[in-house]
Amino acid sequence: MTALSDKIKAARDAAEEVDVAESAIIDQIKASHDVFKDIEWPGVPGVKVRMRLLTVSEARKAKVDNQQEFNRDGIEIGMQNLADYREQEAVHGMWRAFSDPATGKPVFTSAEHMRTLCTNDELKALCDAYNAFSDENDPNLEKLSDEEFEQLKDILKKKPDQIRSKVLSLPVAWKLLRILVAPQEN
């Protein structure tokens, strides 16, 4: 019986080692995506909020929540209200992106909470700031000019460890990999 219990104990120990290794990797991944920036609240000098990039899961949840809200309210989505639908989708994401820089606590508790506290101009300014921040940290291949792409490539040649904070977009990463690894033509 002791041989069996020794095998069980060894299996448990091995499983714990795997859990610890996976946990360390997950912690590294989370830390590499912890991208944030403190900005002034639109039109209110001296009031700062922390803006962070949403994860894919949070962005997807924002889309689902928005669709459910429109369905719950009995609003059909069509050409006549597509702009409103997109704006509200942004609000569902934006409330998740802002926190108090001093405490780290979220500024808003829901999309409705954000809508009750913000003007249309503030929402637009916050969305613009978020989109610019997102583009800065996750360049979109379709929006990058050839010159901007070359600058990004040169930065990453000099400091390859910055790829975590500079490139989250898979198409941009693939293009960089293809160009940097492929044999150079003279």
The domain made up of 36-137 has a fold known as rbstp2171 (3.30.2220)
pLDDT band of 68, cuts 50, 70, 90: very high
Which of 62-71, 143-152, 174-183 is predicted least confidently? 174-183
pLDDT band of 82, cuts 50, 70, 90: confident
The β-bridge partners of 37 are: 51
DSSP string covering 126-182, please? HHHHHHHHHHHHS--TTT--HHHHHHHHHHHHH-GGGHHHH---HHHHHHHHHHHHS
Side chain identity, residue 119? T
Reply yes or no on whether the pLDDT at 134 is more than 60.
Answer: yes
Given this model, what pLDDT does residue 150 score?
77
List the chain domain ranges: 36-137, 140-186
Higher-scoring residue by pLDDT: 26, 80: 80
Share of the chain above pLDDT 70, in %: 65
Given this model, what pLDDT does residue 154 score?
73
Reply yes or no on whether the pLDDT at 169 is more than 70.
Answer: no
The pLDDT tens digits for 23-38 are 666 665 555 556 889 9
Nearest to 179 by CA among 167, 143, 56, 133: 167
For residues 65 and 92, the answer to whether their CB atoms sit within 8 Å is yes
Is the pTM higher than 0.75? The answer reads no
- Write down the residue that tokens 């309210």 correspond to: 73
**C-beta atoms surrounding 60 within 10 Å:** 12
**What does the buried/exposed string (b/e) look like for 143-166 if buried means 16 or more CB atoms within 10 Å of the residue's CB?**
ebeeeebeebeeebeeeeeebeeb
Q: Provide the 3-class DSSP secondary structure of residue 86.
A: helix
Rounded Cα distance, 90 and 106, in Å: 17
Given this model, what pLDDT does residue 3 score?
72
Burial, 15: exposed, middle or buried (Cβ in 10 Å; 0-12, 13-18, 19+)?
Answer: exposed
**C-beta atoms surrounding 66 within 10 Å:** 21
